[in-house]
Amino acid sequence: MEKLTRRQQEIMDFILSFMEKEGYPPTRAEIARHFGFRSPNAAESHLRALDRKGAIRLEAGRSRGLTPLVARRNQQALPLVGRVAAGSPVLAVSNVEREVPVDPTLFSPRPDYLLRVKGSSMKNAGIFDGDLIAVHKTPIVRQGGMAVVRIDDEVTVKYLYKYRNRVELLPDNPDFEPIVVYPQDHEIHVEGVAVGVLRTGMVRSE
């Protein structure tokens, strides 16, 4: 990334701070209002300069269509994976909704991405529909650990138990049954271990 001017760095810091608080990027009008610009066009000019220097990625036709490519000091920008397309890797570009600034010291080991949870099968573990799971990418998960697992083209978060001839994925909600997978019948991959959760209200969608 090219070096930013003082004003560009100030705008970059505002964008990241805004996203940390609100969970989505600011509009051109919000940037202009914060810095006292006469019109959103001045903010647009600065954003285009940040895009050229590799600090952000602009998306045409969206009022909040910008993605930071850098993080604040002591933070990292983690890709947020939403709906995973059938047959595609979890971290495929098409599955990533946006980048989310996160303080990596909140989790151990450090997460590689965030995964949006669907359903309530882990609600007794304090994980609810729409929450974000911080995931450390690894194929190794301890017995009974909370894992992100792909079964064929489906991705799920469950407690993982491996046995000689099968894998059992246990929910944390009595309304759901365990999932028993036999490797000879299904393709199964451990994508990573869940190292923490962000409440829906902490990181809101646009």
Q: Which residues are catalytic?
A: 121, 158
- The interaxial angle of helices 40-52 and 28-35, nearest 10 deg, is 110
CA distance 7 to 49: 11
CA-only gyration radius of the chain, Å: 20
- Torsion angle (degrees, nearest 10) of CA 36, 39, 45, 51: 80
CA distance 108 to 120: 24
3-class secondary structure, 188 = strand
CA distance 178 to 169: 6
3-class secondary structure, 127 = coil
Helix, strand, coil percentages (3-state) for the chain, rounded to 5, are 25, 30, 45
User: Residue 58 in contact with residue 46, Cβ under 8 Å?
Assistant: no
- Short-list 127, 130, 66, 129, CA closest to 99: 66
